[in-house]
Structure 1
Amino acid sequence: MDKFFTTCALFVSINFFAQTTATGYVFEDSNQNGKRDRRENGLSDVAVTNGHEVVLTDASGKYELPVGEDNIISVIKPSGYSIRTNKDNLPQFFYIHKPNGSPKAKFKGVAPTGHLPKSIDFALIPLEETEEFTALIFGDPQPYTREEVDFFSKGIVSEVEGIENVSFGLSLGDLVGNDLSLFNPYIQAVKRVGIPWYNLLGNHDLNFDAETDEMADETFEAHFGPANYAFNYGKVHFIILDDVLYPDPRDGKGYWGGFREDQLQFIENDLKFVPKDHLIVLAFHIPISEPDGDNFRDEDRKRLFRLLQDFPNTLSLSAHTHIQKQDFFGAEEGWLQGKPHHHYNVGTTSGDWYSGKLDEEGVPVSTMRDGTPKGYAFINFNGNEYNIRYKSAGDQNDFQIQVFAPKVVAKGRNTQAGIYANFFMGTEGNDVRYRIDNGAWKAMKYVEEPDPSYLMLINEWDTTEELMPGRRSSNAVKSEHLWRGSIPTNLETGEHVIEIKATDMFGNNHKATSSFRLEEPKN
């Protein structure tokens, strides 16, 4: 008898695991209990995906999708609805189907999920959603230790804890620094912001013992869900992607920026159901530009651009570099529209990897190598348009320009010293001007040089005779948002006021002030 029941149980188990179709309903969760009750209606024309195919629900809210033994079924949130979040403010828009669980690895992945449920349902909560909203963007929290999680929490999270009038947050990868046991401390830190928080995968969030790229995100999936997903808010369609190919398909060592075939097919299938006039925002970790060598597979970028060619309103976001820059892609780079594609490489919350002098809270200042302070970005959306503001951690909202000028200059003598403006959100072509003592406004010259303010920070470490708390910052790199003006030495001796004004690509005006002193030359 025991043998008979054992045989039957094995037969049933094999049949369940062999199921190839996932079905379920997307429904309006009127009482917000997360369960599909008898009187709650299904929602039609809502997109659902298995990470590759994308289908729409029928008139009753039902969908069907093929699945294998490693799929994550997720709903693509439509505008006008919200997704339930768990106790850690992580949106619960997915169901993981891994009957056998994740492969054994150094860091635990997904536990076996068992039989495929008869119905995988997704609850959506009606939301009065306007076309004008704001998202909060974090680049590279990247703590390598619990101490650095505390730096992140004190230096960044505490500043936005309990923030209002922000719809959701998004971290652009490198949530931690190789030690995936820090995922939970990271989650607990970000939870304090108090808003729904989305996450994407970075190259320091991988299972490095994985033999294939498909298996390199198992611990990430166990904590955050799919590494590739999408959602809508207002007239904006967000596509979140893992663009870290690991192991590098060229030699099996390290990683490379790019996409797998199934990811590109997911993008193509997803975009079929997005109105052409909506703004498409793509977010991933590694920039699609190549500032230092062959960091991204060219063909994948070209294919991505082909998929976007019928969408005139686009923006892409990345982090990874620990600098801040704006890129604009045109025909020469394979972009297939007249209006260039804007790619924003966001400054990081960890700055220069938690380096530099310590502030009064004991947190590293961690200015980035291009002179951008550590911080985060707010993206304000209005319909299919957007406006970005970078916030320097610990500074006022209007601190958008770091000014460098010599403290004292010899009167009447020519000098090669200059007045520098590091305009954090700036890009070549922006209008940046300066004037001295309410004089005439003059254009500053765009230059690609190391920021002298940042060089001063490094020189302090290199010239001190007593070891300072903290860790020396990285060497400087050329800043791509730096302007220079000459110093007039034919003025009266004494203090002279420098004013700088700049207009960014969105038409926002910014100001900064500084000063220098003229003295008679000394023999």
Structure 2
Amino acid sequence: MKNFKVALFGCMISLSVFAQEQASGFVYEDANANGKKDRSEKGIPNVSVTNGELVVRTDASGKYKLPVVDGQTLAVIKPAGYSLPVDENNLPQFYYSYRPKGSVKSEFAGIAPTGKLPRSVDFAVLPTTEKERFTALIFGDPQPYTEEEVAFFAKGVVSEVVGIKDVEFGLSLGDLVGNDLDLFNPYIAATQQVGIPWFNVMGNHDMNFDAATDSDTDETYEAHFGPANYAFNYGKIHVIVLDDILYPDPRDGKSYWGGFREDQLLFVENDLKFVPKDHLVVLAFHIPLSEPEGDPFRDADRERLFKALQPFENTLSLSAHTHIQRQDYFGKESGFMRDKPHHEYNVGTTSGDWYSGKLNEQGVPVSTMRDGTPKGYAFIHFDGNQYKIDYKVAGKTEDYQLEIFAPKVAAQGRNTKAGIYANFFMGREGDVVEYRVDDTEWKKMHYVEEQDPAYEFSVYEWDTSEELLEGRRSSNPVPSKHLWRAALPAKLPVGTHKVEVRATDQYGKTHTGETAYRLE
């Protein structure tokens, strides 16, 4: 029996070796930008190249060697000081998908047969001047389910940033579409209009749901956008993009679970070996590492990810998925073993509350999210290995950073349980939020985890209206993670009273807003 096991093991090794190819090629400076390595174009040393698990560095001539098997993708990890070529849709070109016989059969088309592995798989990069101070544009969940919703996304969000200046690249954090993968091309056409290189993350609504294994769920995604797991450098920033959806859920074979496969974790660990420890490591994925309820993420995977990040003082992760906005912090009690907690920014979505609510003057759903955050997008401003984040509400001016709710009228001199609420969209518990009435002294508001009354009012209007409203009823409200309250001063003279609120964010920037109420 023992000899049989040894023979079987040896046979398995032989099959593995037989199925494995040896890929090689160059990372080179494409001086004439023709997409081909000309004899005069030099290779670039010490650049990372990956097969999605192993990571190697190019030698002095810019050459690399990597094993590759059917289903893997070779990709260059863009070095700082170079840019990636983009196609006509502004999608970066940095990979070679190896599918000799094409993707597994699926409802939505995947990758066409690539045939025999090329003799040399070369990756072009373009020389450029990169600044250590730059800005990136971040979209959460465009998630259109129909062509009409693609139009809402394009008109209500993309149109605001078409031709934007002084932004180096864009990144969408998954759920690029809503299950219908035929909408990938309309989505691409929309983001192409922005006019900057655009990176993408795979979400749980971007998968091939008829795939038998998790590793095959991204075939249609990859046919359009490239690998679901990759990395790139920009200045002192190292970005790692990951597919963090396990499908089918390994616990019961149903639905999905947040987490990573072994090959993905090996990719992260191998990749980070070549990243300077003083760089900022930015992780981008769809499902947040933690959610308020349930068991959305496999604990062991989060712990292993945190272990890989331990040598780095400066880290940040970006997620979406929840259709709310919040700031999460992971310290030692959460397995992140550094004095400085790991910050995860769960970004508000461009689809908001799934294109719900009344139609605005553009004919686009207002789509405020369940925690009272208006739909929008984020700008991350990098400076060396540090960052600051701004949230931009779609359709509003840049200074619209908080929503104030107060009664319209109250009885003068009579105690009331009514309050003044401030929803500070980028806020977090511990931020200083203050208010004053009629230019009196500033007083602190109290952080609360309640439903935003302004959002509640907008939702329940659908239930109390005697006429059918245009649009679609929004989702029921949930407690907000960025809400503050103060008592309503009623022992003031009869008349109108001005309320001002000021909030200071975690980066030291102060934001203001005002409203008024009347005493009778």
- On whether the aligned pair clears a TM of 0.5, the verdict is yes
1:33 is displaced (CA, Å) by 1.2
Structure 1 residue 21, shift from structure 2 partner:
0.7
The Cα offsets for residues 381-430 of structure 1, whole Å up to 9 and x where unpaired, read as 00000000000000000000000000111110011000000000000000
Cα separation, 2, equivalents of 1:410 and 1:54: 69
- Please give the alpha-carbon distance, in whole angstroms, between the structure 1 residues aligned to 2:479 and 2:252: 31
1:142 — aligned with what?
143
Say whether residues 1:175 and 2:171 are aligned partners.
no
The answer to whether 1:161 aligns with 2:162 is yes
SS of the aligned residue for 2:307 comes to helix
Matched residue, 2:226:
225
Structure 1 partner of 2:6: none
Structure 2 Cα separation of the partners of residues 55 and 508 of structure 1: 42
Which residue does the alignment assign to 1:200?
201
Q: How far apart are residue 71 of structure 1 and its match?
A: 1.2
Equivalent in the alignment of 1:5: none
CA distances 1:3-34 after superposition (whole Å, capped 9, x unpaired): xxxxxxxxxxxxxx956111000011111111
Structure 2: gaps (5+ residues): 1-17
Q: Secondary structure at the match of 1:186?
A: helix
| Structure 1 unpaired stretches of 5+ | 1-16
Look up the match of 1:243: 244
Distance in 1, matches of 2:291 and 2:465, equals: 36
Does the 8 Å CA contact 1:175/1:183 hold for their aligned counterparts? yes
Q: Which amino acid aligns with 2:79?
A: P
Q: Secondary structure at the match of 2:100?
A: coil
Q: For the Cα contact (< 8 Å) 1:173–1:203, is it kept in 2?
A: yes
Identity of aligned residues (%): 68
Counterpart secondary structure, 1:492: coil
Greater Cα shift, 205-214 or 487-496: 487-496
Q: Where does 1:282-321 land on structure 2 (aligned, <5 Å)?
A: 282-321=283-322
1:283 alignment partner AA: A
User: What's the counterpart of residue 8 of structure 2?
Assistant: none
Offset, 1:508: 1.0
Distance 1:406 1:19 in 2: 69
CA contact (8 A) 1:458 1:473 kept: yes
Contact 1:74–1:94 (CA<8 Å) still a contact in 2?
A: yes
Residue 269 of structure 1 aligns with which residue?
270
- Name the counterpart of 2:510: 509
Give the whole-Å Cα distance in 2 for the aligned partners of 1:289 and 1:504.
Answer: 22
Q: Is the 8 A contact 1:19 1:116 kept in 2?
A: no
Q: State the Cα deviation string for residues 140-188 of structure 1 (Å, max 9, x = none).
A: 0000000000000100000111111000000000000000000000000
CA distance 1:217–1:414, change in 2 (3 Å): same
**What are the equivalent positions in structure 2 for 1:19-418 lying under 5 Å apart?**
20-418=21-419
Moved more, 287-296 or 247-256: 287-296
How many angstroms does 1:290 deviate by?
2.6
SS of structure 1 residue aligned to 2:191: helix
Distance 1:144 1:436 in 2: 45
1:34 and 1:380 mapped to 2: Cα distance? Answer: 31
Q: Deviations over 1:363-388 (max 9, x none)?
A: 10000000000000000000000000
Q: Which residue of 1 aligns with 2:13?
A: none
Q: Distance in 1 between matches of 2:68 and 2:228?
A: 17
- 1:332 Cα deviation (Å)? 1.1
Quote the Cα distance in structure 1 between the aligned partners of 2:487 and 2:19: 73
- One-letter code aligned to 2:268: I
Counterparts of 1:508 and 1:120, CA distance in 2:
48
CA contact (8 A) 1:407 1:515 kept: yes
Give 1:57's aligned amino acid: T
**Other structure's SS at 1:155 match:** helix
- Deviation per CA, 1:181-226: give whole Å up to 9, x if none: 0000000011001100000100000100001000111100100010
Distance in 1 separating the partners of 2:72 and 2:117: 11
Q: What is the one-letter code of the residue matched to 1:177?
A: G
Task: Tell me, in whole angstroms, the C-alpha distance in 2 between the residues paired with 1:464 and 1:18.
Answer: 65
Partner residue, 1:7? none
Matching residue of 2:479: 478
Q: Deviation per CA, 1:89-148, whole angstroms, max 9, x where unpaired?
A: 000000111101101110000010001000111111111101000000000000000000
Which stretches of structure 1, 4 residues or more, deviate above 6 A after TM superposition? none
SS at match of 2:518: strand
Deviation at residue 361 of structure 1 after TM alignment: 1.4
Q: Distance in 1 between matches of 2:470 and 2:116?
A: 55
User: Matched residues in 1 for 2:465 and 2:71: separation?
Assistant: 56
| AA at the equivalent of 1:496 | H
Structure 1 equivalent of residue 7 of structure 2? none
The alignment yields a C-alpha RMSD, in angstroms, of 1.1
